[in-house]
Chain A
Amino acid sequence: MDERRAWAAGRVRLGWGLVGLGVVLVVAGAIIGALNAGDGWNYGIIGGLGILAAGVGLGQVIRYRPALHDDATARRITVEERDERSVGIRTRAGNRAWVVSALFVWIALMWVSFASNGDVPALEGDLLWWYLAAAFGVPFLVYAGSITVDERRF
């Protein structure tokens, strides 16, 4: 039981660390933006990353904190996260998603190369947005689909 709680405590510490990092980034982004106002750059992206980090960190804290005080919850959470069959299924799904993601990046590299010669339209504007959306969404679908199939298969 102590090992499970220690593992959960580590996750909670990581969560609080991410929250702290998020706060730092938000403040830093605001300060940098104020100091460099008018230089044409929008430093809101720094604050946006900070909000993302804080959100992920808060999610970790909310998920793992109950495990610190209750043995049954600690057991349930650690089994969900560390069950070898589940870990194997998620690993396979991640590998497949990575292959698809790498394919998207390779295609984009080829596209940019050909576009520089004028052989294909440049990857910009709406086309770029849709391409990036696909590069994010398709690997995620592959990941989710792989998990769904393997949960039934194994």
Chain B
Amino acid sequence: MKNRLEEFRTQRSWTQQELADMVDVSRQTIISLERGRYNPSITLAFRLARLFRLRIEDVFLYSDEEDRDG
């Protein structure tokens, strides 16, 4: 799933490690999220969205086509 995680993170001048520390995951998870290789759980998605003071849909861009293609 595409997302704007890297965009919002860099706007705030946070490193990947800092973001990982804030939401209690590993830096590798943040890297995988930003590259779109890993889809977060709903809980993690909520934590990230709330951290940026945004809605989940503003951070994670769900697409029917991508979902069908797997």
Q: Is A85 a contact of B38 with CB atoms below 8 Å?
A: yes
* Chain A contact residues: helix, strand, loop or mixed: helix
Q: Looking at chain A, what size class is its interface with the partner chain? A: 10 to 19
| Other-chain residue from A75, A78, A85, A153 in contact with B29 (beta carbon distance below 8 A) | A85
Interface residues of B in 20-44 (CB under 8 A from A): 20-21, 24-26, 28-29, 32, 37-38, 40-41, 44
A85-B28 in contact given A153-B37, A154-B37, A154-B38 (Cβ < 8 Å):
yes
When distances are taken between beta carbons in the complex, the residues of chain B under 8 Å from A153 are 37
Which of B25, B32, B37 lies in contact with A79, CB distance below 8 A?
B25
Distance between B32 CB and nearest chain A CB, rounded to angstroms: 6
Interface residues of A (CB under 8 A from B): 75, 78-80, 82-86, 151, 153-154
